[in-house]
């Protein structure tokens, strides 16, 4: 079986890059997106490279960012803009392949295995994948005004490593000839799904690099981490065969959701509320685009021990309004989570979908606090999981 040709495209400093297009007066100045600088709370979602070179990092509190970079300019997030640019970038990717999988708003995998014989030099080779990556990079810069970093490899994990390997505006190829030389010396934390706690546990067992993980005994890894250990071994060795999801084979829509693994662990309600706001904006935009409203709001949280929590609430009436979704999600979150551990990822979904504007029977007994409207305050579901969510 011949190797696949997979790209991972990552928009550089995405939110900040988009904002710089709309703030030309800030050219050459450090800029960060996130939080509310007037009320002096929140976190940095992203910063431009000028700010990053002065020590500003995603996930920093605003006051910390100002200490690193006294001249830092803050702008509030505008999710509708980022969604628009995300859709435009994805439309470009879909001109090259029918298999495009989003990984957040600013990242996508593209499977060129079948389509590359029609493009570039018409060969099914990783070299042709590189040529197509050059074309995509040039089009994003020319048509959207931002830059991307692209990884090219035969599997999704190494392609993701490639897009992270060199930034900004770069293309990195990991092929069968160079991957051990270039990837194996990298710290194990560079591997997708290796968080800080997993990194510390691997370090405890003397595994510091991706190469050391790739050469580890699978029986030991399974005894230390369970099935997750075997999954990480497959990733480190470049043996992952996970397909790039084809949007053409998705199941009929039953719910609309969005989730994110945050740049740093979330440690308080303030951090969570900002992330929920961004997720609710994304979910709301997709609901309105498809003319849906939903009546069940769900929250799912994964802590730094990979323990998953899930809870939902039935609203008194269907909605696709971002403020209502965010408010309900935050109420559920406060009821669900007790801050025993920091949070690694969080998501919102809206279910029980109905056509937008559909007539509905109102009740004299509806209330916003639950009870007769069907909110029976279910207990959270707690399931230890790996890279994917599982609920009972």
Q: What is the pLDDT of residue 386?
A: 37
Structure tokens at 328: 């309900």
Q: How many helices (H) and strands (E) does the chain have?
A: 13, 13
Cα–Cα separations (whole angstroms), residue 102 to 33, 72, 86, 184, 285: 22, 31, 9, 26, 16
107 noted as active-site residue: yes
Segments making up each domain of the chain, as ranges: 1-172, 184-250, 251-384
Question: Which of 119, 140, 173, 115 minimizes the C-alpha distance to 14?
Answer: 140
Report which secondary-structure segment, H or E, holds 274. Answer: helix 269-289
Q: What is the 3-state secondary structure (H, E, C) of 76-131?
A: CCCHHHHHHHHHHHHHHHCCCCCCEEECCCCEEEEECCCHHHHCCCCCCCHHHHHH
Query: Coil, strand or helix: which one is 353?
Result: strand
pLDDT digits (tens, 9 = 90+) for 282-334: 888 888 877 788 999 999 998 887 788 889 999 988 999 988 999 999 999 99
pLDDT digits (tens, 9 = 90+) for 210-237: 999 999 999 999 998 888 899 999 999 9
CATH architecture, domain defined by 251-384: 2-Layer Sandwich (3.30)
Once rounded to an integer, what is the mean pLDDT over residues 375-389? 39
Give the Cα separation of 171 and 151 in Å (integer): 6
DSSP string of 16-60, one letter each residue: HHHHHHH-GGGTTS-EEE-SBTTTTBSB--EE-HHHHHTT--TT-
Please provide the average confidence, as pLDDT, over all residues in the chain: 85
Binning pLDDT at 50, 70 and 90, where does residue 173 land? Answer: very high
Q: What is the pLDDT of residue 290?
A: 73
CATH architecture, domain defined by 1-172: 2-Layer Sandwich (3.30)
- Topology of the domain comprising 184-250: DNA polymerase; domain 1 (1.10.150)
**Contact criterion met (CB below 8 Å) for 279 and 260:** yes
Pairing of strands 31-33, 73-75: parallel
pLDDT digits (tens, 9 = 90+) for 46-89: 899 999 999 998 878 888 898 999 999 999 888 788 888 998 99
Prediction pTM value? 0.68
Give the Cα separation of 274 and 18 in Å (integer): 19
Q: Which of 19, 25, 38, 107 is catalytic?
A: 107
Give the Cα separation of 247 and 111 in Å (integer): 12
Give the Cα separation of 232 and 213 in Å (integer): 8
């Amino acid at each position: 079986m011949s190797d696949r040709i997979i790209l991972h495209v990552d928009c550089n400093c995405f939110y900040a890059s988009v904002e710089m297009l709309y703030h030309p007066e800030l050219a050459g100045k450090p800029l960060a997106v996130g939080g509310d600088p007037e009320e002096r709370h929140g976190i940095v979602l992203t910063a431009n490279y000028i700010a990053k070179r002065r020590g500003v990092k995603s996930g920093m509190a605003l006051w910390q960012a100002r200490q690193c970079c006294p001249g830092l300019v803050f702008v509030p997030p505008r999710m509708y803009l980022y969604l628009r640019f995300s859709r435009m970038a994805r439309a470009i990717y879909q001109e090259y392949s029918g298999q495009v999988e989003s990984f957040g708003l600013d990242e996508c995998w593209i499977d060129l295995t079948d389509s590359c014989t029609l493009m570039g030099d018409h060969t099914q080779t990783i070299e042709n994948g590189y040529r197509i990556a050059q074309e995509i990079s040039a089009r994003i810069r020319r048509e959207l005004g931002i830059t991307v970093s692209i990884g090219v490899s035969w599997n999704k994990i190494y392609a993701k490593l490639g897009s992270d390997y060199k930034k900004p505006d770069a293309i990195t190829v990991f092929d069968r000839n160079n991957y051990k030389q270039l990837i194996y010396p990298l710290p194990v934390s560079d591997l997708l799904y290796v968080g800080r706690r997993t990194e510390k546990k691997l370090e405890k067992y003397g595994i510091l690099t991706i190469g050391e993980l790739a050469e580890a005994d699978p029986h030991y890894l399974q005894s230390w981490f369970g099935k997750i250990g075997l999954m990480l071994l497959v990733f480190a060795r470049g043996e992952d065969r996970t397909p790039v999801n084809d949007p053409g084979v998705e199941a009929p829509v039953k719910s609309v959701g969005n989730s994110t693994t945050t740049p740093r662990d979330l440690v308080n309600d303030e951090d969570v509320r900002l992330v929920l706001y961004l997720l609710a904006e994304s979910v709301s935009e997709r609901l309105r685009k498809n003319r849906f409203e939903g009546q069940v709001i769900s929250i799912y949280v994964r802590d730094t021990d990979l323990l998953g929590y899930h809870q939902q609430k039935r609203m008194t009436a269907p909605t696709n309004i971002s403020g209502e979704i965010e408010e309900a999600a935050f109420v559920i979150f406060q009821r669900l989570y007790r801050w025993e551990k920091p949070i690694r990822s969080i998501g919102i979904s809206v279910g029980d979908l109905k056509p937008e504007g559909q007539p509905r029977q109102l009740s004299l007994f509806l209330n916003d606090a639950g009870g007769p409207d069907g909110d029976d305050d279910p207990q959270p579901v707690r399931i230890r999981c790996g890279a994917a969510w599982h609920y009972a």
